[in-house]
Every structure is written in C-alpha cells, then in structure tokens.
C-alpha cells in the first residue's frame, strides 16, 4: 500500500512558516523595540542612534521660555520627539560610529509613512539646533527658517546643547528672548547651581579636570558610591551609566559595582 506524503508536506509547511517568523522584517522589529532616549537619540533594539545633524537639549538642560520663565526644555525635547514618532515604526540608516558620544551610532531616521527624516523635522520645528552632519543633510536653511519664525526653542533663550554638556557658561546664548541687560540673570537660570534631577535619572555627574587624563569630561556617581550623598550640586544628571559614559563621564573610583537605583 502506498504511504501518503501528507504528514511530510504538513511538516515542511510548518517549518517554512516558523523560519519566516524568525526573519526580521524592517520596521516591525524596530517598532517593538524602539525607545526614545532623549530629544535627539532613539534606540532600536541594542543600537542607540543619534540623529545626525540635529542637536537637541539634554534631558537635564534648562531653557528660558518666551515669558522669561525657566522650563525643562530637555524633558520637553524628548516628549516632542516621542510625539513626532507617534508609536509608528522607525528605521535608521546607519552612518557609522558617533565620534562625539561613546557607544552611539549616527543615523538618519525616518518614521514609517513620513518622507521627511526625524533629523530634519526636529530642526524645522525648532526642537533642535543644526550641527555639522556626517551626511549631506543641508539643515542650515531649516535652522535659519526656524530661528526667523521663533519656532520651538528659538522663541525663548537657551544655551547651545554642546555648551551645556561641557559646562561652558560663557558661550553665546540663542533665542528671541535673550536680553543683554539680563545676561547674568539668564545665565544663572540656564546653568543653575541646584540643577533639578529629571525623573528616574539619579546618577550625578561632575565636571573634573582629573577626568581628562583618561580622556573624559567628568566623573559620575551612583547611589552606591560613598561620595554620592556629599555631592549636593551635581553639574549633570544621567538616567543610566550608558548615558553617562556616552557623554564622556567615567565612574568614580569609590563606587561599588552594580546597578544604580
């Protein structure tokens, strides 16, 4: 009696379906693993992409709004980028290693359904300033238009994110609400001695000349560090050790290994 090939065919069909289910489909994987790290950084799976050519305020950065009041522009920048994405799949073209931020990649990122990159949208809406890109994005005209129309950050007064990251308090201020007659007062608000901790970002950072010997900008302290409580006026706040290291900070030598709280 001739044996039927049906069981064999069914098994082969199941194997094909299983194999296809393991293939990474562009957009689908990114959608389920995408995290907005800050105003210009998205993480897709294990890879963090900084949006090339766009520089948004840091999470702990403070700006001045058009009513001369301080506002948490760094947290708002992350929120605005989250809204631009709107839960849709994100795809990033990898441009190589980021020479400024450790463990980051530079990317041109797009949301599924949008023809304009997130990089360009941030600059167009005044949510980030234009910086020299690795790719030829030509964002300077978009930045000039955003500035002329007082969009986003430009309606207030702010320090360049690069100046904030390095603690350069004497850099040029930007925005329509900057006033020369209140320069000292505004700078004190933009670089407060008691910099507020963003939610769930408890790692303290301190600029330190001695850190430069190891090629770093400063030192970061976890809650397990013996000197954590004594550091009452940190220069920076970070949400994770990866963020701190990306910004050029090294862990304090008196810190115990392990996760921060």
Q: Which residues of 47-79 are buried (b: 16+ CB within 10 A; e: fewer)?
A: ebbbbbbbbbbbbbbbbbbeeeebbbbbbbbbe
pLDDT at 8: 46
Residue 137's pLDDT band (boundaries 50, 70, 90)?
confident
| Across 36-59, average pLDDT | 96
What confidence score (pLDDT) does residue 126 get?
Answer: 97
CATH code 2.40.50.90 region(s) in the chain = 28-190
Distance CA 162, CA 182 (A): 22
Q: Report residue 241 as tokens.
A: 């050790």
Average pLDDT over residues 177-187: 96
Rounded percentage of the chain residues whose pLDDT exceeds 90: 76
Between 133 and 1, the higher pLDDT residue: 133
What is the rounded radius of gyration, in angstroms, for the C-alpha atoms of the chain?
Answer: 23
pLDDT at 55 over 60: yes
Look at residue 215 in the predicted model and tell me its pLDDT: 85
Identify the three-state secondary structure at position 183: helix
Cα–Cα distance measured from residue 249 to residue 252, given in angstroms and rounded to the nearest whole number: 9
Report the predicted TM-score, pTM, of the whole model to 2 decimal places: 0.83
- Higher-pLDDT residue of 240 and 9 is 240
Looking at the chain, how many residues does it have?
A: 261
Q: How many helices, marked H, and strands, marked E, lie in the chain? A: 8, 15
| SS3 label, residue 158 | strand
Sign, Cα dihedral of 214, 218, 224, 228:
positive
CATH architecture of 28-190: Beta Barrel (2.40)
Check residue 160 and give its pLDDT: 97
Look at residue 260 and tell me whether its pLDDT is greater than 50: no
Residue 12 has pLDDT above 90, yes or no: no
Higher pLDDT among residues 235 and 12, named by residue = 235
Does 238 have pLDDT greater than 80?
yes
Taking the C-alpha atoms of residue 150 and residue 172, their distance in angstroms, rounded to an integer, is: 17
Give the pLDDT of residue 257.
57
Kindly state the helix (H) or strand (E) to which residue 123 belongs, with its residue range: helix 118-124
Region 59-66 average pLDDT: 97
């Amino acid at each position: 009696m001739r044996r039927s090939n049906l069981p064999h065919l069914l098994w082969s069909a199941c194997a094909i379906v299983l194999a296809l289910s393991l293939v990474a489909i562009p957009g689908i994987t990114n959608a389920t693993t995408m995290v907005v790290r800050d105003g210009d950084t998205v993480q897709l799976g294990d890879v963090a992409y900084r949006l090339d050519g766009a520089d948004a305020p840091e999470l702990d950065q403070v700006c001045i709004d058009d009513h001369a009041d301080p506002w948490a522009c760094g947290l708002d920048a992350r929120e605005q980028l989250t809204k631009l994405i709107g839960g849709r799949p994100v795809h990033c073209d990898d441009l190589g290693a980021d020479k400024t931020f450790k463990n980051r990649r530079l990317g041109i990122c797009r949301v599924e359904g949008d023809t304009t990159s997130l990089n360009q949208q941030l600059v167009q809406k005044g949510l980030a300033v234009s910086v020299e890109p690795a790719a030829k994005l030509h964002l300077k005209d978009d930045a000039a238009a955003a500035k002329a129309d007082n969009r986003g950050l430009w309606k207030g007064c702010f320090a360049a994110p690069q100046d904030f990251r390095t603690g350069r308090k004497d850099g040029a201020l930007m925005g329509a609400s900057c006033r020369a007659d209140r320069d000292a007062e505004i700078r004190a608000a933009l670089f407060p001695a008691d910099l507020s901790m963003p939610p769930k970002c408890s790692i303290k950072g301190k600029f330190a000349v001695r850190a430069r010997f190891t090629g770093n900008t400063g030192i970061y302290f976890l809650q397990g560090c013996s000197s954590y409580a004594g550091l009452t006026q940190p220069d920076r706040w970070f949400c994770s050790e990866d963020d701190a290291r990306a910004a050029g900070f090294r862990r304090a030598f008196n810190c115990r290994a392990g996760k921060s709280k």
